[in-house]
A and B are shown apart, each in its own frame.
Chain A
Amino acid sequence: MALFIYGTAENTGKGFFTAEDRRNFFLRGFPGDVWVIGNNEKGALWLAEKNGVEKTKAEAQAIVDAEVAKAQAAYDALPEDQKNRPGFNQRPTAITLP
């Protein structure tokens, strides 16, 4: 059985996931409203309750990659003096889903 379920769901704020949810299953959020969810009954139920859309890992990774590419393009469009400032403005880096 796969370790994770992949899906997209909009984070609606307070109550979107609870402390109890966090204890019941693994949950990590990524750009593009992508969520990696522990593959158990409660994790699957959570995605359904949040009107989420289940994705394959490849589909989820593609969404994240697109978001990262968009952020990198926005960074690249910045004036040089802002790009080179230490610390505050670092070029977004690729993210690999677990």
Chain B
Amino acid sequence: MTTYNQLAGYRVNYLGSDPTLNTGNEGQVWYNSTTGTLRSLVQIKAWSAAGNISTAKAYVAGFGTQTAGLGAGGYASVPLRPSTVKATEEYSGYTWAAGGNLNSNRETANNGGFGTQTAGAITASYNSFAPSGIVSITEKYDGTSWTAGNSIGTARYATAAAGTQTAGLLFGGNATPGTVGATEKYDGTTWTSTGSLNQAKAYLGGSGTQTAALAFGGKLSSTFSGTESFNGTTWTTVNNMGTARYSLAGGGIQTNTLAFGGRTSTANLSSTEQYDGTTWLSVSSMATARGNLGGAGGSGSATIAFAGYTGTAYSALTEEFNSTIFSPATGAWASGGNLNTARQVTAGAGTQTAGVVMGGRNPGTPTLSLAVTENYNGTSWTNSGNMNQLRQGAAASNSGTQTAAITFGGVSPGPTLYANNESYNGSTWTNLTALPAARAGHAGTGTQTAALGFGGYTTAPGIQNTTLAWNGTAWTSGGNLNTARKYLRGFGTQTASLAISGTAVPGRTTATESYNGTTWTSITGVNTARDFAAAAGIQTAGLFFGGSNPTATAETESWDGTSWVTVPSMATARTYLAGCGNQTLALGTGGSAALANTEEWTGTPTTATASTLTTS
């Protein structure tokens, strides 16, 4: 009988327990003899949408990494062109921000950049503004400004580049006249000629270092799929790409390079190929086909594609490529103990087994608003001391504990907005210094002595982008949210919080922002915009659940510090609920038309997990 080993060249390991999972593998298959199951893990390679650059353009030079990339120069539509030929934008892993302007106009910068976001270089560009022609001067970037340096030996553009600011490599390109294979090394000051490409070509892709580079694709009279490998001295022809293309982008190292986008003679491409040091393999395509795009990535497994020309328009789109065996967090909601007082528009703090909810609203009570507080022990709720102020729509320091939390702001059914701030010790409430102005519908994070309140609304001017920080004694102003909003949620600490979704103008927003103690930065938004949801966790690992859009939802999303993943929903759709806990052990209680029931989330963190194979 033919064995799997004879057919595929691999054996299926026979192991007593699951092995330590190796993120460097394409996938793993093994037989777990203890459980009697065939187990597997498959690597996932995919592009996902990321923050757009400020101006749609093409022919931009890209370099750096997926979380610290740079785009310099480029060519845009006529009204914008003068502002793009010198522009630099820096990518943070979430968003693009303006960097220092180039000294020279560089319309056709293509792959003429190399190095990092704080130690980069650009050369070999073309400019049609007077004085038009090839720009051979090298400019070096220090993270803030560009400084002009020496010119390359062979004037050209539409090249490829690799390496660092002090050990760079430039190869190929269009010169005057003709297309060249010339290669030059850069030491941070001076360019020196070295062995030429075997095939002269322009609009090619490049990756790697000064002593281990890769040149791929490109164009002369025809379009190439050819690949050459550089050893620091000479270029050697290696295996071709699957698709001949030019005006492509690439990134990575010589043994793990990603090539993406570009053009054939008839079409712009979205297809992506990954080189493992020997062979190009087709992997997941970009969502948007384009040529003359920018690319950045220190690894072929973590790269960005940005800008470019789609065939009909210049693009501002950015996509991120990730290759990982990590699987998203998952878990399930189970029922917990019922509240003694059903309520909505309430606030919570603490953990899944030591939580607290305070105030809220119950349409069946004469006062509508509640002061009643309840403590949870992981099984049941017990009434505790009442707040001094009846209220709903307050915020709590949701990283506080069951015995040390504060709640601040809120509203009466009147409606009267409150500035009250109260401290809880596990049984009684004590009045503290009030907020500078009454507000409700805001979010609260942090602890009893280091809390943060942000967003919400006040009597005037209404919807807020302001942030207030509490130090245990007094409130001070923090940085403003980029998106003013109310009915949002948050989690984290006073110096590392997330602001999530809510109601902005003109409506519910997916916007998520990250706070560093001073400044809010826009990051990846939630999948479903909603207000009156609940949230629990820390800045790098959290859970966002329930809420309304416009009707109550049970949807739950898990945050891993980079992206939101939809995970199993709550059993009961609910809005106006309270939440506490963390990404893997959270509590959601109350909400909607004054529910009493509670749900407990038990999740697994973002980690490598294996699945059991079945015959079905």
Contacts and interface: CB of A to CB of B under 8 A. Distances in A.
Interface of A: 11-23, 27-31, 71, 74, 81-82, 85, 87-88, 90, 92-93, 95
Contacts of B573: 28-29
B486 A14 contact: no
A74 B331 CA distance: 37
Contacts of B331: 19
7 contacts: A12-B338, A13-B335, A14-B598, A87-B503, A87-B532, A88-B576, A93-B550
- The 10 A-B pairs at the shortest CB distance, nearest first, are namely A29-B572, A19-B332, A22-B332, A16-B335, A13-B338, A19-B334, A13-B337, A14-B337, A18-B334, A17-B335
Nearest to A22: B332
A9 to B, nearest CB: 11
A19 B532 CA distance: 24
B407 to A, nearest CB: 16
Contacts, number: 79
B490 interface: no
B480 interface: no
A19 B379 contact: no
A88 B345 contact: yes
Contact of A17 (B363, B551, B571): B571
A-side binding surface: helix, strand, loop or mixed?
loop
A36 B486 CA distance: 33
Interface of B: 331-338, 345, 361, 363, 368, 379-380, 392-393, 411, 413-415, 441, 486-487, 503, 531-532, 548, 550-551, 554, 568-569, 571-573, 576, 593, 597-598, 602
Given A11-B597, A18-B334, A19-B334, A87 B531 contact: yes
Contacts of B572: 28-30
B332 A23 contact: yes
Given A14-B380, A16-B335, A22-B568, A88 B593 contact: no
Contacts of A74: 363
A88 B333 contact: no
Which residue of B531, B568, B593 has the most chain A CB atoms within 10 A of its CB atom?
Answer: B593
A74 to B, nearest CB: 6
Contact of A14 (B336, B548, B576): B336
A29 B338 contact: no
Contact of A27 (B379, B551, B571, B602): B571
A17 B570 CA distance: 11
B551 A19 contact: no
Q: What secondary structure prevails in chain B residues at the interface with A?
A: loop
B532 to A, nearest CB: 7
Nearest to B336: A14
Contacts of B569: 28
B411 to A, nearest CB: 7
A17 B486 CA distance: 33
A31 B551 CA distance: 14
Given A14-B598, A22-B334, 13 more contacts: A15-B334, A19-B333, A21-B334, A23-B332, A28-B569, A28-B571, A30-B572, A71-B593, A85-B415, A88-B392, A88-B415, A90-B550, A92-B593
A31 B335 contact: no
Nearest to B330: A23
Contacts of A21: 334
Contacts of B486: 87
Contacts of B335: 11, 13-18
B334 A93 contact: no
Given A14-B379, A28-B572, A87-B486, A93 B551 contact: yes
Nearest to A72: B593
Of A22, A92, A93, chain B has the most CB atoms within 10 Å of the CB of A22
A95 B551 contact: yes
Contacts of A81: 414-415
B145 to A, nearest CB: 47
B393 A88 contact: yes
A28 B393 CA distance: 26
Contacts of A19: 331-334, 602
Contacts of A71: 593
Contacts of B568: 22
Contacts of A17: 334-335, 571
B236 to A, nearest CB: 54
Contacts of A14: 335-337, 379-380, 598
Contacts of A95: 551
B520 to A, nearest CB: 22
A82 B334 CA distance: 34
A12 B487 CA distance: 30
B441 to A, nearest CB: 6
Nearest to A67: B593
A88 to B, nearest CB: 6
Nearest to B344: A88
Given A27-B571, A29-B571, A88-B361, A22 B333 contact: yes
A13 B597 contact: yes
Nearest to B415: A85
A93 B575 CA distance: 13
B573 to A, nearest CB: 7
A11 B599 CA distance: 11
Nearest to B441: A87
A95 B551 CA distance: 9
Contact of B413 (A13, A30, A82): A82
